Amino acid sequence: MSSTIIYNANILSFHNGFNNSSCDTITIEGDRIKAVGRWDDLKSLVQANTVVIDAGGKTLMPGFNDSHIHIWKVGNLDTFMLDVRSAGSLDEMLEMISAYNRQNPDVAWITARGFNEAGWKAGRMPDKNDLDKVVKHKPVYVIRTCAHIAVCNSKAIELCDISSNTPVPDGGVMYLGADGKPNGVFSETALGLVSKHIPPYTKDELKIMIKAARQRLYSNGITAATDPAVDPLLLQAFYEMNAAGELGFRLNAIPILLPDGGEAPYPLPVYYSSPWFNVNTVKFFSDGGLSGKTAALKRHYKNSSDLGVLRLQKQQYLELGRAAMEIGLGLATHAIGDAAIKFVVDCYTSLAGSFPGVLKRIEHLGLPEEQHLEAMAKNNIATSMQTIFISELGKNFRQYLDQEYIDRCYPVGSVLKHGILTALSSDAPVVSNLNPLKGVEAAVTRRDNEGFEIAPNEAISVAEALKAYTVSAATIGQTPQLGSLEPGQLADFIILNQNPLKTEPKELSQIKVEQTFIGGKCVYGG
């Protein structure tokens, strides 16, 4: 069995009882950690075939675990879909779409993702008339950065046979223009009115996207990830890649049960556990996003009559959740606004008595109230949050939320004080920067990309944020063999050029991942 010893390292791990001041050496046997300690105590383990590496005093820590990232969508923007996240104006986005159309004349549908109108000077939502200016004779479908709103052109509306009389599914909105006709903008479950007509990707195309995303994970030191919205075809692709040994990173898949615009839920998946791939939780969406004003709030968005969209029907949600938990699957529910969080916490609380040991998690948890946090702590409800939203979407929050909401926006500090199991994650490609160290920086500084502070009283320490990206992420993913540097754990770790615990908070995202190891093998950096 192969063995490796890395010495002269600044070793960090964030599990209880770890004392980094006494450790500078890690030994790996096969794909597992054999020992962590001092070189003087461990050098006797060196054998004739042992690979011995001098870390040169650099920092070695567990690989990052992104507990909420849409793997295939990240890869899609590097392969088959037009990425418009860099568009600084509506005109710039339209030119990108026009150029893509010229360069790809054989594409049947133009699909793009990533616009954020709050960052544009005019600041208005595009509609079909805007898209018609650049592409008239081919359907165009452009997804907003949040993925809860999309706009299409007139050709797409025509091909989908959509009119003002088209029934809109519960939990969705089809917007109308001044003429009373659909203006091309759809949100939440109404996205399915268009998306179900777009030719689906093949399983082989999905695999190409996953492999493209994998390289992005490696370079950012991410050794494990959870894809929190997996449909049946994607789930099959994941299973096949795992069986063929093609994943290359630790993956949790969370299948969705209710497709956008669908009349019937998908079949319940089967619980599955292995060193590389796990299926142990199912996913629901209770509302939309703050950055697009579709997260369900108790009071209106600033200078607006909007309250967002509450997507779930309570009885169906409880029935599906109970059926999943009866076969050992946990529940993960997207809930950002306070109205949605209340709805989910109430439902989880009603299920807790029958399923006390089954994991229940809330994705995002953007605007919880004190009573919600108390109920979460009491009923062992965990959460995966995204402090990186503060940096990239802070302008949206400041534009759309009143001060009271701003002061408790993504309140990680309060969540941790209540003893709630909390992981941090990116939700990429909702954000363009999936670097966990940028998420750590945002958690500590609470500053957006324009330098404005958002709920600075909710800041946490660097160590707390790193724990949320490692040990806590492994716990919420029900993968206890990951996330810490201990004997018997899988040897997934990274080497950084600086010690994050001794780096100025505003400079944390400048730290470089020099090497990424998975199962004791270097997959990035050489």
Domain assignments of the chain as residue spans, ordered by start: 66-70+201-483, 82-195
pLDDT band at 244 (very low <50, low <70, confident <90, very high): very high
How many CB atoms lie under 10 A from the CB of residue 449?
15
Average pLDDT, integer, range 481-490: 97
Look at residue 274 and tell me whether its pLDDT is greater than 90: yes
Each residue's pLDDT tens digit, 347-362:
999 999 999 999 999 9
**CA proximity to 228, closest of 63, 83, 72, 91:** 72
DSSP tag of 371 = H
Look at residue 19 and tell me whether its pLDDT is greater than 90: no
Average pLDDT, integer, range 201-219: 98
Each residue's pLDDT tens digit, 370-382:
999 999 999 999 9
**CA proximity to 491, closest of 35, 1, 25, 33:** 33
For residue 255, what are its two tokens?
């299948």
CA atoms within 13 Å, Cβ hemisphere of 51: 12
* Percentage with pLDDT > 70 across the chain: 99
**CA proximity to 511, closest of 524, 498, 501, 493:** 498
Dist. CA 334–CA 336, nearest whole Å: 7
For residue 44, what are its two tokens?
């006797």
What local confidence, expressed as pLDDT, does residue 2 receive? 85
Q: What one-character-per-residue DSSP string does 56-103 give? A: TT-EEEEPEEESS--HHHHHHTTTTSEE-TT--SHHHHHHHHHHHHHH
Each residue's pLDDT tens digit, 497-524:
999 999 999 999 999 999 999 999 999 9
pLDDT band at 260 (very low <50, low <70, confident <90, very high): confident
The answer to whether 292 and 149 have CB atoms below 8 angstroms apart is yes
Look at residue 282 and tell me whether its pLDDT is greater than 90: yes
Q: Are strands 25-29 and 32-37 parallel, antiparallel or unpaired?
A: antiparallel
For the four alpha carbons of 384, 387, 388 and 393, in that order, the dihedral sign comes to: positive
Q: What share of the chain is helix, strand, coil (3-state, %, to 5)?
A: 35, 25, 45
CATH superfamily ID and name for 66-70+201-483? Metal-dependent hydrolases (3.20.20.140)
- Global confidence as pTM: 0.95
Dist. CA 35–CA 38, nearest whole Å: 10
Each residue's pLDDT tens digit, 84-113:
999 999 999 999 999 999 999 999 999 999
For residue 487, what are its two tokens?
């004997």
Look at residue 263 and tell me whether its pLDDT is greater than 80: no
Dist. CA 235–CA 241, nearest whole Å: 10
For residue 342, what are its two tokens?
């209340």
Each residue's pLDDT tens digit, 419-477:
999 999 999 999 999 999 999 999 999 999 999 999 999 999 999 999 999 999 999 99
Whether the bond between 259 and the residue before it is cis, its omega within 30 degrees of 0, is: no
Look at residue 394 and tell me whether its pLDDT is greater than 80: yes
What local confidence, expressed as pLDDT, does residue 262 receive? 67
**CA proximity to 209, closest of 65, 73, 82:** 73
How many CB atoms lie under 10 A from the CB of residue 262?
14
Domains 66-70+201-483 and 82-195 share a fold: no
**CA proximity to 282, closest of 357, 334, 344, 247:** 334
Domain 82-195 has CATH 3.30.700.30: no
**CA proximity to 370, closest of 341, 349, 397:** 341
**CA proximity to 284, closest of 365, 361, 366, 186:** 361
Give bridge partners of residue 37 from the DSSP assignment.
25
Dist. CA 421–CA 409, nearest whole Å: 18
What local confidence, expressed as pLDDT, does residue 17 receive? 85
The DSSP element (H or E) to which 99 belongs, if any, is helix 90-103
What local confidence, expressed as pLDDT, does residue 121 receive? 84
Each residue's pLDDT tens digit, 308-356:
999 999 999 999 999 999 999 999 999 999 999 999 999 999 999 999 9
Residues 6+ apart with CB under 8 A from 85: 77, 113, 114, 115, 116, 145, 429, 432
